[in-house]
């Protein structure tokens, strides 16, 4: 059975003398993501939690300050396993299987609790909708593409979520620069539109 693990890791770096590009001149010290010759040591495993299903290597892990969510493709191709738990000890708070027509969700801790925001696909604007899922898979709210005023041939996508907002983008099937794709900001707890249709070009 597949498991999700949390591991504490530490880094130590060895230093080496920097040689200036031009003799006699002191070059500025530039910031770096990792020091040269960095050695990463594996720490101790904190906890391990079975996912309760046979899954593939296609896995997405997200977390808030107190909780985690793992989304993994089921080995039999029937969809995804979504597991939500406590970050401190790994205890599972809820889990459910999602069908393949549910796009990979984004995860946030909102005023309505822990929610996953995914998109249910469909052949028309009323079926194509954003859905907020509780950890056990129950739907807190849903908003259709038609409700948002998206074009008939648009598919919705959840871009990201935070404590009180979720950003939804429409992806028209006809060729269209990404920056012109319409977006909406929804209240994460209720699904109500906070900011109506706009595009990335509107903010530039």
DSSP 94-122: EEEEE-TTBPPPEEEEETTEEEEEEEE--
CB 169 within 8 A of CB 157: yes
- Highest mean pLDDT (candidates 18-27, 37-46, 195-204): 37-46
Per-residue pLDDT, averaged over 162-167, amounts to: 91
**Residue 146's pLDDT band (boundaries 50, 70, 90)?**
confident
Report pLDDT for 93: 95
pLDDT of residue 143: 92
CA distances from 77 to 73, 101, 112 (A): 7, 12, 31
**In the structure encoding, which two tokens stand for residue 166, read together?**
């979720």
- CA angle in degrees (0–180, nearest 5) for 174-168-135: 130
Cα–Cα distance, 143 to 67 (Å, whole number): 25
| CA 122 to each of CA 32, 106, 149: distance values in angstroms, whole numbers, following the listed order | 46, 19, 16
pTM: 0.72
Which candidate, 134, 136, 45, 42, places its Cα nearest to that of 89?
Answer: 45
Determine the pLDDT at residue 3: 61
Which pLDDT does position 204 carry in this prediction?
Answer: 47
Under a CB-based contact definition with an 8 Å cutoff, are residues 130 and 168 in contact? yes
Judged by average pLDDT, the poorest of 10-14, 132-136, 146-150, 152-156 is 10-14
- Spatial distance between the Cα atoms of 126 and 190, rounded to a whole number of angstroms: 18
Residue 14 has pLDDT above 60, yes or no: no
CA distance 95 to 116: 11
Interatomic CA distance for residues 61 and 4, integer angstroms:
9
Sign of the alpha-carbon torsion through 109, 140, 137, 142:
negative
Residue 122's pLDDT band, with cuts at 50, 70 and 90, is: low
Give the pair of three-digit tokens for residue 156.
């919705």
pLDDT of residue 7: 54
């Amino acid at each position: 059975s597949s498991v999700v693990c949390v591991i504490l890791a530490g880094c130590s770096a060895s230093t080496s003398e920097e040689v200036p590009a031009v003799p006699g001149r002191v070059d500025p010290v530039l910031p770096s993501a990792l020091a040269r010759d960095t050695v990463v040591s594996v720490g101790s495993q904190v906890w391990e939690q079975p996912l309760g299903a046979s899954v593939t290597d296609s896995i997405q892990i997200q977390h808030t300050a107190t909780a985690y969510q793992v989304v993994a493709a089921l080995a039999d191709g029937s969809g995804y396993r979504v597991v939500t738990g406590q970050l401190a000890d790994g205890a599972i708070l809820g889990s459910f299987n999602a069908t393949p027509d549910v796009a990979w969700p984004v995860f946030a801790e909102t005023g309505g609790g822990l929610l996953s925001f995914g998109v249910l696909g469909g052949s028309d604007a009323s079926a194509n909708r954003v859905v907020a899922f509780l950890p056990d898979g129950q739907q807190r709210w849903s908003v259709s593409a038609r409700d948002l005023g998206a074009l008939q041939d648009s598919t919705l996508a959840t871009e990201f979520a935070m404590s009180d907002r979720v950003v939804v983008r429409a992806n028209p099937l006809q060729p269209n620069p990404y920056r012109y794709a319409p977006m909406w900001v929804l209240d994460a707890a209720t699904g109500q539109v906070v900011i109506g249709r706009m595009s990335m070009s509107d903010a530039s």
